[in-house]
Amino acid sequence: MRHPLQVVSIDDDPQDGVLLGRALEASRHWAVAHAHYTDPTAGLICVLERAPDILFLDVLLGPRTGLDVLERLVEEGYSGPVVMLTGYDSPDLAVGCMKAGAFDWIAKHDLRPDTVDQTMAAAVEWSRVRRAGLDRQRDLLAENERLQEKSRRLERVSRVISQELQTPLAVAAEFSRLLRVAGEDDFRDTYATLVSEACRQAEGHVADMWDLVRIAEGDLRLETRSEAAGAFLRRAVSLMLPLATNRRVQLRLFASRGLGEVNLDVRRMLQVLMDVIRHQIVACVDGGLVDVRGRRDGETLRVSVETNAAEPEARALVRMAQGEDLGDGFEMLSLSLQHAREVVVRHGGELTAALRDEGGIEWSLVLPAREASGEGTPAIEWAWQTDVASEHLAGRTS
């Protein structure tokens, strides 16, 4: 025997309720829990609260009609099968019931167990098919929304790419024009170097932009290799020295002993760390300080990039990193953060940002790390200052 069916009937004649109840009890295929109501209002409330598997509803209910109740049920969102009961075997009445939203109808003189059984079986199957259809419809709507969101992301990325690439490509084009008119004077080598650097930056920019497209398509693949953590940090800081020089910002690196090795997609992770350092340099007030600190904590490498003071407008980046949507005008920053987070997460790490009590900003990068092969890495203190550029490699052991 199948699971019990929840059945409600609404009929102002108690004897008709008894007759239907006997037919339900005599079912050979269903165990039925039947509740009968002679008051249409009470029956309506029960149906809306309990959502029974099947509702048997009399066409004539004293001052009200079953079609009135059916219309109210449809308005309230009831979607179960409704079987109309009538004392008159009228085709026109049957058509009217179907148009109003009824599943089927039975003449009261035909309330035999086999007729009721067949009607319940058809109603249960109708409900099953309808639920499957609704589930499929929800799945299709969800998939459609997912595809539309993906399309919106790709459109957004493509728009930002087209805007952002105009600058480095325009610079490279302008330098190429200058190179052609430079002649044989002493500036030719300088122009050639600038063109080469502009093209290198454009190439890296294009690679990052396409990463955003791959992220939007769910197709970003990393190319990892083992890298000494100390060398990785030093390389990132070294590459940001020209910007620090130009901005008159003091940039320092402190790395504790035994940073170990990290498994990285070096190009992508280097770009992430450089972007973080770049954000901090740009965020600094004139003559500010940016400290990059690296230390091992068990099986993780922890890197902090700190400023001692930051311009107020630079704090918007922290709000974005903490999940706030700042709307139009911040699309490139939003995509840059999205790219950085995705790359870090793919490495099994975490990237966060926070405001410091003293007014600065701190970015924190956490990555899995392991003990380096061979001897431990000596501690490094490497600094650049506005008045003198120098390297200090101290063989300290702490």
CATH of the domain at 356: 3.30.565.10
Asked, for residue 151, whether it belongs to a domain, the answer is no
Report how far residue 269's alpha carbon sits from residue 222's, in angstroms, rounded to the nearest whole number. 10
Q: Do 377 and 230 fall within a single domain?
A: yes
What predicted TM-score, i.e. pTM, was given to this entire model? 0.50
Q: Do 245 and 350 fall within a single domain?
A: yes
- Residue type (1 letter), 233: L
Q: Do 335 and 202 fall within a single domain?
A: no
Residue 361 near residue 284, CB atoms below 8 Å: no
CATH number of the domain bearing residue 123 = 3.40.50.2300
Task: Tell me which residue range forms the domain holding 180.
Answer: 165-217
- Residue type (1 letter), 214: R
DSSP 124-137: HHHHHHHHHHHHHH
Q: What is the DSSP letter of 266?
A: H
Q: How far is CA 156 from the centre of its chain?
A: 15
Residue 270 near residue 289, CB atoms below 8 Å: no
pLDDT for residue 397: 31
pLDDT for residue 316: 74
pLDDT for residue 292: 92
Asked, for residue 148, whether it belongs to a domain, the answer is no
Residue 316 near residue 326, CB atoms below 8 Å: yes
Asked, for residue 111, whether it belongs to a domain, the answer is yes
Asked, for residue 12, whether it belongs to a domain, the answer is yes
Last residue of a domain, one of 182, 217, 252: 217
Q: Do 292 and 179 fall within a single domain?
A: no
Q: Do 213 and 249 fall within a single domain?
A: no
Report strand pairing: 5-10 vs 54-58.
parallel
Q: Do 232 and 376 fall within a single domain?
A: yes
Asked, for residue 104, whether it belongs to a domain, the answer is yes
Report how far residue 162's alpha carbon sits from residue 154's, in angstroms, rounded to the nearest whole number. 12
Asked, for residue 368, whether it belongs to a domain, the answer is yes
Q: Do 131 and 195 fall within a single domain?
A: no
Asked, for residue 212, whether it belongs to a domain, the answer is yes
Last residue of a domain, one of 217, 238, 255: 217
Q: Do 244 and 330 fall within a single domain?
A: yes
pLDDT by position in tens, the chain (length 398): 456 888 888 888 888 888 888 888 887 777 888 888 888 888 888 988 888 988 998 888 877 778 888 888 888 888 889 988 887 766 677 777 778 788 888 888 878 888 888 888 888 888 888 888 777 888 888 888 877 776 666 566 555 555 555 555 565 566 566 556 555 555 556 556 555 655 655 666 667 677 777 766 677 778 888 888 888 998 999 888 887 887 788 888 988 777 888 888 888 888 889 888 888 888 887 678 889 999 888 888 889 888 877 677 667 777 777 766 666 666 666 667 777 888 888 889 998 888 887 778 888 999 998 876 543 444 444 444 433 333 333 333 33
Asked, for residue 194, whether it belongs to a domain, the answer is yes
Q: Do 235 and 261 fall within a single domain?
A: yes
Last residue of a domain, one of 117, 137, 157: 137
Count of the separate structural domains present in the chain: 3
Q: Do 297 and 345 fall within a single domain?
A: yes
Neighbour-count burial of 298, counting CB atoms closer than 10 A to its CB (0-12 exposed, 13-18 middle, 19+ buried): exposed
Q: Do 242 and 376 fall within a single domain?
A: yes
Q: Do 65 and 205 fall within a single domain?
A: no
Residues in a beta bridge with 104:
83
